[in-house]
Structure 1
Amino acid sequence: MADTALAAAAEQIERARAEKSKRPTIAGFFDEATNTISYVVHDPATREAAVIDSVLDYEAASGRTSNGSADRIVEYIEQNGLSVTWLIETHAHADHLSAAPYLQDKLGGKLAIGREIIRVQDVFGKIFNAGSDFERDGSQFDRLFDDGDTFAIGELEGIALHVPGHTPADMAFIVGDAAFVGDTIFMPDFGTARTDFPGGDAAQLFRSIRRLLELPRETRIFLCHDYKAPGRDDYAWETTVGQQRDENVHVKDGTTEEEFVAMRTERDSTLAMPKLILPSVQVNIRGGRLPDPEENGVSYIKIPVNAV
């Protein structure tokens, strides 16, 4: 069966490579506490922008949130005279809390994620015993993207691609000649994302990554995380399809699905859970909002014991 969404994305990338006005301006904001890169992507012609994978600062020991990372984005947008159209999440992150509601209050824009967030909400709603008041229909978001859906940032073209495996809801977003791939893949010297969270699937991740690597070799890839592979001194978060196909230590050309699944399964069995997984997922399935305050006006994050 023809992959019409991928073909459309490839055509869009080629158009953007041929015409500079169809390429986005991209600024990355690295949060070392969570090894996360957030992006502001804007159309130089109209100054319309999207924010991808924002970070709300969270101190686990005290349970306190703060907005330093998000305020860096606000400052950049205001200094550059940008207008926010979209606040996009590539998936419900397990390693940081989203600052999307804070940014939406400050800057506007529609909050968007992949439609399979509904499945993630159902799974984790049960784990956290969220109760009947917690809607499991994605209604916490303004837009739920399906595979192949298109959107606009000013005059720039965008396409959403469903790339499950790390979680069921992972999406990649193609804007002009750039691909924002969330947690599917990392720098070539570090490899790929884990698949041992509820709903994760190593074989599915392999197929999702290989699908992305069918895009033109010159496609710019922007990553959601970097952890500095052994022997590398600097953080990095931009690569290309060609570099990934030639050099990725887990999934370069010639790697079979069986080899990848065996490697990923063995590697995942040695990994500790992300230190912020319980607060992060609990908040992010709510679109970045804290659980409703209780009678005393305080929000509480649950810690399920022996459940994850």
Structure 2
Amino acid sequence: MTDPILSSATAQIRAAQASGRVPVVRTFFDTATFTATHVVHDPQTRHAAIIDPVLDFDQASGRTSTKSAQAIADYVRAEGLSTDWLLETHAHADHVSAAPFLKDALGGQIVIGAAITTVQQAFAAVFNEPDSFACDGSQFDQLMEDGSRFDLGEIAAIALHVPGHTPACLAYVIGDAVFVGDTLFMPDYGTARCDFPGGDAAALYRSIRRLLALPDDARLFLCHDYKAPGRADYVWESTVAGQRANNVHLRGGIDEAAFVAMREARDATLAMPRLILPSVQINIRAGHFPEPESNGVSYLKLPLNLL
């Protein structure tokens, strides 16, 4: 069966490559959370998007810092870029989003997948959020669906829904560059876990196969790298062809059933991310802190014996 949205994304990639109108990508890597934040811009119009920005967070003290995000803001200003978009690939469980800080500093709309409402509902129950917490995605400026189109200056872009790691994961195809979030890691490291609320290994397999049906030379930019054993440096860029041929969880023609069995067995051995409890509570709020209490301080919850 033809996938018209994937066909549109493929045509967009090929058109960008043929015209030479491809985006410039500058990546900022946060070693504390192993997160790659990508700043992507149209070199002609200087319009930019920032994808998956990180707010520094010290869990022991409960203190946040904007040092990492400020480095991104400094780069954007030094390059004379205009920030249109602050794109979240999903509600992250391993770092706190710096999108609100960067919106205040640079402008732009905070965007996430429309299925964030499902994620909000799941975690609102986990954290016993008050009735005032809206599970309608209204904390974000814009919710994108599968096939939502937007522009980065004069470069066409399209969102692809790639659920599995979470129900709301999006990949953003901007020109010939595809920002895949946590769906894929570098080929020597594999694929994303699927054991968070709403995760689904079968859905992840289908999402990955969808991404790997894009043109071989499409550039894939990843949200994380954990430096697989034997590799000296962190890396966050690959290609469709490279993933298809070399990804350790996919090569050899693995079918869906075998992938699901592998993924579920592996997930059962993984510890929870160090920052999952603070990250999720903030990120389902589009990076905003919970409302301050009567003393003017915001608080996060620590559910006991739950996760």
| TM-score category, normalised to shorter length | over 0.9
Separation in structure 2 between the aligned mates of residue 265 and residue 57 of structure 1, nearest angstrom: 31
| Structure 1 residue aligned with 2:293 | 294
Asked if 1:147 corresponds to 2:146, the answer is yes
What is aligned with 1:303? 302
Amino acid at match of 1:257: E
- Structure 1 CA distance, aligned partners of 2:100 and 2:192? 26
1:192 equivalent in structure 2? 191
2:280 aligned partner: 281
Superposed CA offset, 1:16-59 (max 9, x none): 111112x0010000000000000111011110100000000000
Counterpart of 1:80 in structure 2 is 79
- What are the Cα deviations for residues 157-204 of structure 1, in whole angstroms up to 9, with x where unaligned? 100000000000000000000000000000000000000001000011
Matched, 1:18 2:12: no
Q: After TM superposition, list the pairs within 5 Å mapping 1:41-60 onto structure 2.
A: 41-60=40-59
Distance in 2 (CA, whole Å) between partners of 1:253 and 1:89 is 32
User: In structure 1, what is the equivalent of residue 244 of structure 2?
Assistant: 245
The equivalences for 1:59-78 within 5 A come to 59-78=58-77
Structure 1: stretches of 5+ with no match in the other structure: none
Offset at residue 2 of structure 1 (A):
2.1
Indicate conservation of the 8 Å contact 1:96/1:277, yes or no. yes
Preserved contact between residue 50 and residue 87 of structure 1 (Cα < 8 Å): yes
Looking at structure 2, the residues matched to 271 and 3 of structure 1 have their Cα atoms a distance apart, in angstroms, of 34
Q: Deviations over 1:122-180 (max 9, x none)?
A: 00011111111111000001110000010011101100000000000000000000000
Q: Residue 10 and residue 253 in structure 1: after superposition, are their counterparts in 2 closer, same or farther (change >3 A)? A: farther
Q: Distance in 1 between matches of 2:240 and 2:165?
A: 19
Q: How far apart, CA to CA, are the structure 2 residues paired with 1:105 and 1:202?
A: 37
Instruction: Please say if 1:263 is aligned against 2:259.
Output: no
| Offset at residue 253 of structure 1 (A) | 5.3
Residue deviations 1:76-112 (CA, integer Å, cap 9, x gap): 0000000000000000000000000000000000110
The question of whether the paired residues in 2 share the 8 Å contact of 1:173 and 1:179 is answered with yes
Provide the secondary structure at the position in 2 that maps to 1:56: strand
Which blocks of at least 5 consecutive residues in structure 2 are unaligned? Answer: none
The answer to whether the Cα contact below 8 Å between 1:206 and 1:251 also exists between their aligned partners in 2 is: no
> Do the aligned residues in 2 keep the contact of 1:112 with 1:142 (CA within 8 Å)?
yes
Given the alignment of the two structures, is residue 126 of structure 1 paired with residue 142 of structure 2, yes or no?
no
> Where do 4+ consecutive residues of structure 1 move more than 2 Å?
none
Q: Corresponding residue for 1:7? A: 7
Number of equivalent positions: 307
Aligned to 2:92: 93
Number of the residue aligned with 1:158 = 157
Identity of aligned residues (%): 61
TM-score (norm 2): 0.99
Deviation at 1:13, TM superposition (A): 0.4
Q: Is 1:236 aligned with 2:235?
A: yes
Distance 2:263 2:105 in 1: 40
Asked if structure 2 preserves the Cα contact closer than 8 Å seen for 1:245 and 1:253, the reply is: no
**1:211-241, CA deviations, whole angstroms, 9 ceiling, x for partnerless residues?**
0000000000000000000111110000000
